[in-house]
Structure 1
Amino acid sequence: MNNDYVDSKQRKFWIVKRLLEQEHLSYQQLSEDYYVSRSSIANDISYIKDLFSKEDLALTFDNSGTFFKGSEVQIQKILKRIVLNLLNNGQSTELFIEEELMEKVSKGLYHALNEKQIEIPESYIQNIIVSIVLIIQRAKEDHHIHLEGTNQYGQFFLEFDKYPLVYGLLNELEEQNIYSFSQEEIQYLTYLIVGSGLRFFMKEDAIPFTFRGKVRFLIQKISEGLQMDLTQDSRLEEDLVVHLYQLILRLEAQSSVVNPLIDEIKQTYPALYGVVWFGLADFCKPYQIALSDDEVGFVSIHFQAALERIKKMHKILFVCPNGIGTSSFVSAKIRRILPDVNSIETVSTSKLEGMDLSDVDFIISTVEIAAAEKPVVRISPMVTVKDMKCIMNQYIDLIIAREQNTLPKLEVASETKEFIARNIIFQNFSSKKAALNFLIDQQSFSDKDLQDKFKQSVWEREGLQSTYLDNGFAIPHGSPEFVEKTTISILILDKPINWGNQKVDIIVLLMIKEEDVRKVEPVMELVMQGIEDKNWFISKMMEVKK
Structure 2
Amino acid sequence: MLDLNSRQKDLIKIMINEANYKAVNEYSNFLRVSPRTIYSDIKLINKCLQNFHMEIEKKPGLGIKLIGDAEKKMQVMEFLNNKVEDKNQYTIAERQLEIIRMLLVDEKIISYQKLADYFWVSKTSISNDMQLIQSMLNEKTVSIQSNKKGTKFIGSEIQKQYTLQRYTELLLKEKNVENEKSFLKYGPDILKKIYPVNIVEIVFEEVAHLEKTLNISLSYYYLKSLIITLIIFMFRLSKDNHIYSKKSFIFEEIKSLETYFVAQNTLESISSKLNINVNKGDIDYLNKQLLAYCIKPEVKNKDEAKKYEEIVTEAIKEMSQIMNVDLTQDKKLYDGLIFHLIPMIYRIRIGIRIENPLLSEIKEQYSVTLSATWYVISKLEKKLDITLTEDEVAFVMVHFQASIDRNAQVKKILIVCPTGIGSSELIANKIKRFLPAKDIIEVVPIRKIYENDINNVDLIISSVQLDISNKPIIYVSSLVSNEDLKNIYSIYADTFINDKKINLPSHKYEYKFKYINELIDEKFIFTNCDYTSKEECLDYMISCFEEEGLTYEGFKESILEREEIGSTSLDSAVAIPHALLATVKKSRLGIMTLKNYIKWGGKNINTIILISISEKDIKKVKNILSELYEIVESKERVENLFLHKNSKEIFEVLGGTELD
Does the pair score TM above 0.5? Answer: no
The TM-score by the shorter chain falls in which range? 0.3 to 0.5
User: Which structure is richer in relative contact order (CA contacts within 8 A, separation 6 or more)?
Assistant: 1
TM-score when normalising by structure 1: 0.44
| Greater Rg over alpha carbons, structure | 2
